[in-house]
Amino acid sequence: MNTFGWLVKREYWEHKGGFYWAPIWVSGVMLLLTLLGIVVAESAASRIEVNGGIPWREISERMSSGDFVHAGTGLDVAYVALAGLLCVVFFFVVFFYLLGALYDDRRDRSVLFWKSLPVSDTSTVLSKVAAAVLLAPLISMAIATLAYIVLLVIVGIWALLHGINPLPAIGASHTLGLFWRFLLTLPVDALVALPTVGWLLFWSAYARSKPFLWAVLVPLFAFIANSWIGLMGLPHLSKEFLYKDVISRLLFGIMPGWWLEDGGEKFRLTRNVFRGDDMLEVFSPSHVYGLLATPGVWVGAIVGTALIVAAIWLRRSRIETSS
């Protein structure tokens, strides 16, 4: 393995709790709650909605009535829900990971150990970018997929207990198709995440204390100041532009797939999939990669790259923190 590989591995060692255990625990709890819900629904013979995104009622009713196509759609929704849940976990984990990435080792002075090794600051910072936009999402996706497979086993057992063959429903779902489409969204996610990655790494490298406050309060004050300037009747940026195109891209850009909603009507269709729309359509490559035709993505990528370069530059000589 080369130096860069070791650097990424180092990130994994240090942040295994967030990158690996957090999604495992969350999806485990989700599956457990679903299982409990099913058991309760069965024993009470009632149609309790098993909450949390997995449309159990749809799946079980359609399977019972032999509507395997829509049962399969229900399974697709469950897969997307599991993945979506882990996206939320991912957001928090990676947000705080990036804020600490170039700060924590300065605070505990272990930066002096890392800097005593023949590793350039550029590789160090880029390894943290790679951990955030490649390693962590891949682990998250793998765990979501495993959790979905466990769910399929649960559904299968339930079906067999009711004398239903689960295979037609599973066959009507799009497990593999969705899996590939999720994978295909990762490069776009990474590109869209660049401004946030750069913004958080920049403050992580810059702050002598409390990188979180810098990263969050600077945009907040900019927003408030802009509103005041507006109230005074002076030229200012539109609130919507500042929030949607600047602040949320600097702070929330690492949320996987958040741009799908922005990309048009398609994402809202997930709520209407039972009316016959195809889940695959939402994540279709032409839809996902259509985003690349919008200039905002590239402007953000340039800004993000500039911020990462600034973080590398700061990393060169900024070692002390105030604590």
Partner 1 sequence: MSAVVHARKLSKKYGTTVALDAVDFEIEAGRIVGLIGPNGAGKTTALKAILGLSEFDGELSVLGLDPRTDRPKLMEQVCFIADVAVLPRWIRVGQAIDFVAGVHPRFSREKCEAYLGHTKIRKDMRVRELSKGMIVQLHLALVMAIDARVLVLDEPTLGLDILYRKTFYENLLSEYFDENKTIIVTTHQVEEVEHILTDLIFIRDGRIVLDASMDEVADRYSEIMVNPDKAEAARALNPLSERQIFGKSIFLFDGVDRSRLAELGEMHKPSIVDLFVATMKGTYA
Q: Give whichever of 108 and 262 is closer to partner 1, judged by the CB atom.
A: 108
Residue 254 buriedness (CB in 10 A; 0-12 / 13-18 / 19+) = buried
Q: Give whichever of 261 and 320 is closer to partner 1, judged by the CB atom.
A: 320
CB of 320 within 8 A of CB of 107?
no
- Give the sign of the dihedral formed by CA 128, CA 129, CA 132, CA 136: negative
DSSP state of 312: H
Q: Is 277 in the site for partner 1 (CB under 8 A)?
A: no
CB of 195 within 8 A of CB of 250?
yes
Neighbour-count burial for 126-148, b at 16+ CB within 10 Å, e otherwise = bbbbbbbbebbbebbbebbbebb
Q: Give whichever of 317 and 323 is closer to partner 1, judged by the CB atom.
A: 317
Supply the minimum distance, in Å, between the C-beta of residue 136 and partner 1: 17
- Show contacts with partner 1 in window 162-201 (CB under 8 A): none
Q: Is 118 in the site for partner 1 (CB under 8 A)?
A: yes
CB of 185 within 8 A of CB of 257?
yes
- Show contacts with partner 1 in window 120-139 (CB under 8 A): 120-121
Supply the minimum distance, in Å, between the C-beta of residue 311 and partner 1: 17
Binding-site size, partner 1 (CB under 8 A)? 26
Q: Give whichever of 183 and 319 is closer to partner 1, judged by the CB atom.
A: 319
Supply the minimum distance, in Å, between the C-beta of residue 21 and partner 1: 14
Which residues here bind partner 1, judged by CB under 8 A?
Answer: 1, 3, 5-7, 9-10, 13-14, 105, 108-121, 317, 319
